[in-house]
Structure 1
């Protein structure tokens, strides 16, 4: 069973994330967990605590949720689960991944644009988990990917063959090109990367990552995901 965790605030791109999860399941049994995260209510009153914890959705959110349920309901192999989470920490996040046997975290682009600190905290915590993460792009996501560009981390001695082997065992696309990481000066090398992407018909970027210290910033740095609009598959280095 290949289960998927989708942190969401039920923006429209959640629908694309659900469709992608269904496709990636490849007709095997799967559970798609939509996780909605909220702050723990700051109150000492039990009754007020329970009232505050009630999830209230807007009409638009209800519509998105109903569409997701309808799409999953029309499959014979997938189920959908709504998980309301109050507060998040690294041990809690790890327990969620283990409890639901999550094989892939799918992060809609809209979720990473959320301004509440707790959502930013979850995105950073996700990066420190061993589970692969698929960061969706700014454009409507495809259900399938064919050709990937591997962006090599020069500080880590990981061969592209090792990355491709892991991908072959878990996904259905291949790395057709690779380049070094230009994080320190990405804007200067953007034309070069655009040329590689266009020439090779790249529809997915692949990177490796390692655990990092959690930092809260007032402004968010532009990432490769933002700059090129393509989805990015992030693999924890120790898995590869």
Structure 2
């Protein structure tokens, strides 16, 4: 569990609600289903319109990274590569075939299989670089739906505010309906701006950060496997890859 994400989200929402209370307002006045429906429904619809289905669904699934991020243990990766390098020096590249069955990461398994099959270092590099490029393109397209939501939400909030004011203008002769219209107008703006800056944009930035770290991990693996393919000393491998450790 990423504690700082939980604390950040809780602190942001609590600050708004506490500020409303300290100003003498009622927290319940911020709960307007109509405004919520306008802003969230409009924002989701706009994001779906601009996105491919695969990108949209991948972006929704990826949001779990905000609270349960993928593990990026660079020291463990380094230790594994050094161990493989030592094993390859002792028993040859074919001796690494024993590690294929226990490897669950498709990216690592593919690179290790090429290494065992005796592929040239340049071939391994090109193939794994293409894999990294494809991963980056897919992942950033998926994460972009949250950035897009952060851009659309404030505008949809303003749209909701205008709709609320139109409702007010249509019922100037009936004071009993003015309160609801005004509430929707202002609360819709709060929902739009608040959701963009407290939820959507932070989620987008967090996901992009995790994607960058995963790309760095894959680049570390790439360099390690190519170094092993070149038959370099495991100590040289360790020194070369130490700079990848975050």
- Mark yes or no: TM-score above 0.5: no
Greater relative CO (CA pairs within 8 A, separation 6+): 2
TM-score range normalised by the length of the shorter chain: under 0.3
Instruction: Report the structure number with the largest CA radius of gyration.
Output: 2
TM-score, normalized by length of structure 1?
Answer: 0.22
